Amino acid sequence: MLTQPTTDKILLAIADDLNAIVLPAVADEQAKVLLGQIDQLLRRLSRRSATEIAWMVEEIHAINETLGRKGKGVTNLLLADVAEQYSEASGALGDAIDEAFANNDEAMIGKLKNLLSLRIEKEQEILGQLDLVGRG
């Protein structure tokens, strides 16, 4: 397997070529909108592909630690399996949020909110600059 250039770099190169070479050659307005969306998606996917497994694993650990969950660690690093475990941990986090609000447990709400803030920080790194391509 050739690992270099890494996936994130290749995706970025595709986005740059679409933007610099393909877009100027396109006259159709709908195709331009689509290219604009593809450009943004590729740049986000580039950032995401470089780090997403590590981020998910890190967040699963943080959720398990905060909720005191034992034996729920990541068992392998296949993307689909990590994503499934990430969703499972997110579900447990959601249950804990409902319970904390139902009990008016402000200390717990604060702790859980910190976990969400960490998630949002990472999401913002992936998102970059937002441009609602195609909306007036």
Partner 1 sequence: MQDPSVMPEKIVALLEANGASDITVSGYEPMTGGYSRLMARFEASFTIGGNQESGSYVLRGDPPEGQAIIETNRSQEFAVIQAVSPFLNTPAARFLDADGAIIGTPALIIDFTEAESTLPWIEKNGASALPLKLAELSGAMHTIPVEKLPDVLTKPVSGDPLTDQILMWKQTAINHVEHLPIFRYVAAWLDANRPPSVPVSLVHHDFSTANMMVDGNGDLVVIDFELATIGDPREDLGYFKAYAQAAPPDLIDENPEIFLNRYREVTGFTEEQVNPVVMTYFLVLGVIGVVSQISNSGSAMARGETSSTGIAFNLDNLLFGQAAWMTATEALEKVLDGEVK
* Positions that interact with partner 1 (CB under 8 A): 29-30, 33-34, 37-38, 40-41, 44, 83, 86-88, 90-91, 93-94, 97-98, 100-101, 112-113, 115-117, 119-120, 123-124, 126-127, 130, 132-136
* CB nearer partner 1, residue 5 or residue 91: 91
Which of 20/80 has CB closer to partner 1? Answer: 80
Which residue's CB is nearer to partner 1, number 5 or number 83? 83
> Any idea which residue has 């990541």 for tokens?
74
Work out how close the CB of 72 gets to partner 1 at its nearest, in angstroms, rounded to a whole number: 14
Please, what is the minimum distance in Å from the beta carbon of residue 13 to partner 1?
19
Minimum distance, C-beta of residue 58 to partner 1, in the bound complex (Å): 16
Cα 100 to Cα 112: distance, rounded to the nearest angstrom: 9
What's the closest the beta carbon of residue 4 comes to partner 1, in angstroms? 27
DSSP assignment of 91-133 equals HHHHHHHHHHHHTT-HHHHHHHHHHHHHHHHHHHHHH-S---T
Nearer to partner 1, 10 or 126 (CB): 126
Rounded Cα–Cα distance for residues 21 and 24 (Å): 6
The terminus-to-terminus CA distance of the chain in angstroms comes to: 45
Collect all residues with Cβ–Cβ distance below 8 Å to 41 and sequence separation of at least 6.
none
